[in-house]
């Protein structure tokens, strides 16, 4: 089996990552990585995102050794403190109250692993996001409108959440949504996946 014929698997249950990967028009399966995402003691947001992206890719690759597997993770970094998915309205309110007027770095790591070929590479996108000095009323109105409780940092920049922001500094446009597609495509090419050659007319 040549590497170009290998199955592609997204080791994530995130609908945002699935929708982004579909842009490449390459068939892929989705497998839940079953990885504990609890931060280690004193682990930085950058280290946490990188470790979890690698762990997710490796966990799925262990189950599907002939496949090329993508793992990814994103951690919102507020002055060195990791902020995860809020899960509830109340926690999302607290996150946005803490982030208003602040610059938050979204650490987004992507790892590609193929156990059979020995391929393993990881890249990191760091997106600086400056939040407006939001009022409590604006925060509550936004959260009730978009309910971004499954998003690190409690906001969807691709939706109404853009109204919360003053600026985004990012060299990989989809990284803030959860999967840096420029870096992902680069890693897949390095793993032997011919993205454009795989497209059928």
pLDDT at 201 over 60: no
Give dist(CA 114, CA 117) in Å, integer.
6
Domain holding 168, by residue range, is 3-190
Mean pLDDT computed over every residue of the chain? 93
Domain assignment of residue 197, yes or no: no
Supply the pTM of this predicted model.
Answer: 0.90
The better pLDDT of the pair 3, 9 is held by 9
DSSP string, the chain: --GGGS-EEE----HHHHHHHGGG----EE-------PPPTT--HHHHHHHHHHHHHHHHHHHSTTSEEEEEEEEEEETTEEE----SHHHHHHHHHHHTTSEEEEEEEEEEEETTTTEEEEEEEEEEEEEP---HHHHHHHHHHH--TTSTTS--TTTGGGGGEEEEE-SSTTGGGT--HHHHHHHHHHTT--TTTT---
Let me know if residue 41 belongs to a domain.
yes
Question: Does 145 reside within a domain?
Answer: yes
Q: What is the pLDDT of residues 131-190, one digit of tens each?
A: 999 999 999 999 999 999 998 889 999 999 999 999 999 999 999 999 999 999 999 999
- Is 144 inside any structural domain? yes
Domains in the chain, number: 1
Q: What is the pLDDT of residues 23-68, one digit of tens each?
A: 999 999 999 999 999 999 999 999 999 999 999 999 999 999 999 9
pLDDT at residue 1, rounded to an integer: 39
Residue 81 lies in a domain: yes
Q: Point out the catalytic residue in the list 29, 42, 73, 150.
A: 73
Q: How far apart are CA 139 and CA 59, in angstroms?
A: 37
Q: Provide the pLDDT for residue 198.
A: 55
Is pLDDT at 3 greater than 50 in this prediction?
Answer: no
181: domain CATH number is 3.90.950.10
The yes-or-no answer on residue 73 being catalytic is: yes
Spatial neighbors of 59 by CB under 8 A, at least 6 apart, are 11, 33, 34, 35, 71
Q: Is residue 199 part of a domain?
A: no
Model pLDDT, residue 2: 42
| Structural domain contains residue 201 | no
Q: Evaluate whether residue 118 is within a structural domain.
A: yes
């Amino acid at each position: 089996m040549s590497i170009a014929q290998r199955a592609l698997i997204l080791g994530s249950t995130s609908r945002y990552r699935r929708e982004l990967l579909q842009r490449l028009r390459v068939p892929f399966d989705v497998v839940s990585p079953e990885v504990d995402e609890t931060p280690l003691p004193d682990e930085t947001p950058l280290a946490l995102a990188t470790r979890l992206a690698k762990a997710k890719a490796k966990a799925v690759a262990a189950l599907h050794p002939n496949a090329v597997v993508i793992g990814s993770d994103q951690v919102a970094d507020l002055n060195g403190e990791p902020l995860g998915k809020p899960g509830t309205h109340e926690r999302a309110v607290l996150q946005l109250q803490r982030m208003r007027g602040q610059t938050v770095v979204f650490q987004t790591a992507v790892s590609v692993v193929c156990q059979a070929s020995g391929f393993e590479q990881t890249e990191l996108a760091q997106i600086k996001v400056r939040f407006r000095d939001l009022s409590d009323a604006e925060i509550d109105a936004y959260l009730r409108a978009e309910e971004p409780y499954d998003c690190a940092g409690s906001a969807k920049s691709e939706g109404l959440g853009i109204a919360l922001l003053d600026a985004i500094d990012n060299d990989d446009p989809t990284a803030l949504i959860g999967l840096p597609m420029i870096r992902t495509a680069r890693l897949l090419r390095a793993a032997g996946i011919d993205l454009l050659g795989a497209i059928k007319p």
